[in-house]
Chains A and B, each alone.
Chain A
């Protein structure tokens, strides 16, 4: 009877820790059996108040918990920095030199804040200076390598694309939002040491580029190139060329391209039109060179349609259409390794 009652109590006890621990079995018996927890296990936190407390008090404590400021993962229980860094390198399937990787996560703002804190606590000069190096050197090297490698990739894949287009694509792929988005989804924000929480996007960008720099130092340019290709180039999926590259006058650019290839200037003609006298007309303007069709584009007004047709023609000329071959992510062959090592910095 007493044993059975104790086992029954064990089965019905709450998931919630904290102050419930102190409640004795005898006094908690009646209340625990009557107020069995009804919350789903997947959403219950571990520090919510137990059902032995009054209902209003539980609501108040829950509100306090929800309004508490967010904390870094490193300040919550169960955190082992070394193990996390090792798991990070395994997760990315790369061999990092661990000390380089640890330097890559140290940001200058963290070093400044730590030194300020130590100075405030009244330590003398030697203890104030931290032995850590920050990641700015690694970040700069990583950025240079990433830009060079991506520019080389795009020049190989889209040989017709002019230098400004390649530059626009590379700038987009190394921009703050994209790199910080990639870094956040790879848990860089937990491992990065920085002054404020949550880490601002430029800190995340710098940390990710420093990780690339660390990989460059540890594994060499080929593996780093594969890493950059695998993580940054998929962000271009679904993106159109002119979303990334702002072109103000597509018609002028098209004329330049055609004169380079010795084709005569395009002649715009209306191919199709719908609803001319309504509020929403649709015009399809086709560009003809020597009476042969070059491209056709829709638009609301004739000017908009002509501009769109110029953009479609540019996409066709540069080989960046929607039905182009998808990017090649296969393993590079051994023979190309030497060529890549020489041409990348």
Chain B
């Protein structure tokens, strides 16, 4: 069955900073809808007062990866879309995929080896049998 790989989202922002305005609007308007639509993701909202670090959306996945996304000077809709994107991702590292194809069954009829089409030693090769 499908198990959403995103465990929790932590929204760390400051209540007075200018670039956290989108984060504050997200918390006021869209955060509850997001939490209702994704009941298997725990959403933590932690405002820290005073001048602090930049507002960040921290995503923790089931395999332990923690991903921080800057949400400074983003609008509320952009943050909502970002949250949905993080919710649909798995926690695997985002690296270059070497090939866009993969197969678990590389060979259907069996991989060729030097003895594939050679007849076995036991096959008797004699004069042609008379038709019955």
Top 9 A-B pairs, shortest CB-CB distance: A90-B40, A91-B40, A271-B120, A78-B44, A90-B39, A17-B53, A87-B42, A272-B115, A41-B70
| B3 near A186: Cβ-Cβ < 8 Å | yes
| A274 near B18: Cβ-Cβ < 8 Å | no
CB contact under 8 A between A238 and B54, given known A87-B41, A90-B39, A91-B4 = no
Q: Which residues in A have their C-beta under 8 angstroms from that of B46?
A: 77-78
| B42 near A269: Cβ-Cβ < 8 Å | no
Selected contact of A15 from candidates B1, B10, B54, CB within 8 Å: B54
- In the bound complex, how far is the Cα of B54 from the Cα of A230, in angstroms? 42
CB distance from A291 to the nearest CB of B (A): 10
Is A151's CB within 8 Å of the partner chain B?
no
Q: Which residues in B have their C-beta under 8 angstroms from that of A93?
A: 1-2
The SS class assigned to the B binding surface is: loop
Is B84's CB within 8 Å of the partner chain A?
no
CB distance from A76 to the nearest CB of B (A): 10
Is A334's CB within 8 Å of the partner chain B?
no
CB distance from A326 to the nearest CB of B (A): 11
Which partner residue on chain A sits nearest B39 by CB separation? A90
CB distance from B105 to the nearest CB of A (A): 9
| A86 near B115: Cβ-Cβ < 8 Å | no
| A78 near B18: Cβ-Cβ < 8 Å | no
Query: Which one of A10, A186, A270 has the highest number of Cβ atoms from chain B below 10 Å of its Cβ?
Result: A10
Q: Which residues in A have their C-beta under 8 angstroms from that of B25?
A: none
B residues within 8 Å of A by Cβ?
1-4, 7-8, 10, 12, 17-19, 39-42, 44, 46, 48, 50-54, 56, 62-63, 67-70, 72, 104, 114-115, 118, 120-122
Selected contact of B62 from candidates A46, A77, A186, CB within 8 Å: A186
Which partner residue on chain A sits nearest B44 by CB separation? A78
CB contact under 8 A between A91 and B69, given known A17-B53, A274-B115 = no
| B115 near A11: Cβ-Cβ < 8 Å | no
| B69 near A42: Cβ-Cβ < 8 Å | yes
Query: Which one of A80, A270, A271, A274 has the highest number of Cβ atoms from chain B below 10 Å of its Cβ?
Result: A271
CB distance from A20 to the nearest CB of B (A): 8
15 A-B pairs besides A20-B53, A41-B56, A92-B1 with CB distance below 8 A are A10-B18, A15-B70, A41-B70, A42-B68, A43-B68, A46-B53, A78-B8, A78-B10, A87-B7, A87-B40, A238-B104, A271-B121, A271-B122, A272-B120, A273-B121
A residues within 8 Å of B by Cβ?
7, 10-11, 13-17, 20-21, 41-44, 46, 77-78, 80, 83-84, 86-88, 90-93, 185-187, 190, 230, 238, 269-274, 282, 284, 286
| A10 near B19: Cβ-Cβ < 8 Å | yes
Q: Which residues in B have their C-beta under 8 angstroms from that of A92?
A: 1, 3
CB distance from B108 to the nearest CB of A (A): 9
CB contact under 8 A between A187 and B53, given known A90-B40, A274-B114 = no
- In the bound complex, how far is the Cα of B62 from the Cα of A88, in angstroms? 11
Q: Which residues in A have their C-beta under 8 angstroms from that of B62?
A: 185-187
CB distance from B39 to the nearest CB of A (A): 4
Q: Give 7 CB contacts A-B under 8 Å.
A: A13-B51, A14-B53, A41-B68, A46-B12, A90-B39, A271-B121, A272-B120
Query: Which one of B3, B50, B63 has the highest number of Cβ atoms from chain A below 10 Å of its Cβ?
Result: B3
Q: Which residues in B have their C-beta under 8 angstroms from that of A17?
A: 48, 52-53
Q: Which residues in B have their C-beta under 8 angstroms from that of A286?
A: 120, 122
Q: Which residues in B have their C-beta under 8 angstroms from that of A80?
A: 42, 44
| B44 near A185: Cβ-Cβ < 8 Å | no
| A44 near B115: Cβ-Cβ < 8 Å | no
- In the bound complex, how far is the Cα of B104 from the Cα of A206, in angstroms? 33
| B118 near A272: Cβ-Cβ < 8 Å | yes
- In the bound complex, how far is the Cα of B40 from the Cα of A91, in angstroms? 5
CB distance from A275 to the nearest CB of B (A): 10
| B42 near A83: Cβ-Cβ < 8 Å | yes
Which partner residue on chain A sits nearest B2 by CB separation? A93
CB distance from A183 to the nearest CB of B (A): 11
Selected contact of B115 from candidates A84, A185, A284, CB within 8 Å: A284
Q: Which residues in A have their C-beta under 8 angstroms from that of B114?
A: 274
CB contact under 8 A between A41 and B53, given known A7-B18, A186-B3, A271-B121 = no
Which partner residue on chain A sits nearest B6 by CB separation? A91
